[in-house]
Chains A and B, each alone.
Chain A
Amino acid sequence: MAGALTERDFVQKLERAGFVEIEVLERTPMGIDDCALYPLFTKELLAIMRDVIPAERLDRIGVCAIIRARRA
């Protein structure tokens, strides 16, 4: 999650790489409870996230975007 781009940056990088017809087809919020499903999120990290991320953001820490694009 620390390496995630904003959707805008992701789309810009796709454009620069030579992709066209870029569509964001789904956006699904990912909250702290979703993160907890993944063993990659350690208990320590989850505790830090609960501690330092504002409560109003905990149900939308990130967004899973599904993006389709065509190579020009």
Chain B
Amino acid sequence: MKTTRMLRLGRYAVLACAMGVLSKAPAEDQGVAWIGDYREGLRQAKETGKPLFVEFRCEA
């Protein structure tokens, strides 16, 4: 039971890393830049015509 749970958590950690959950701050990220300020994101979306992709993450 515990082993299964640990495997699941491990799998989640890997997936989370891949999805950016455990990534460093945007400035250090070598991939897509993430903005930490929603209002700024909204401003950029209006300026560029791009859609927004908003990630919420915290302790559930």
Are A and B co-members of a single complex? no
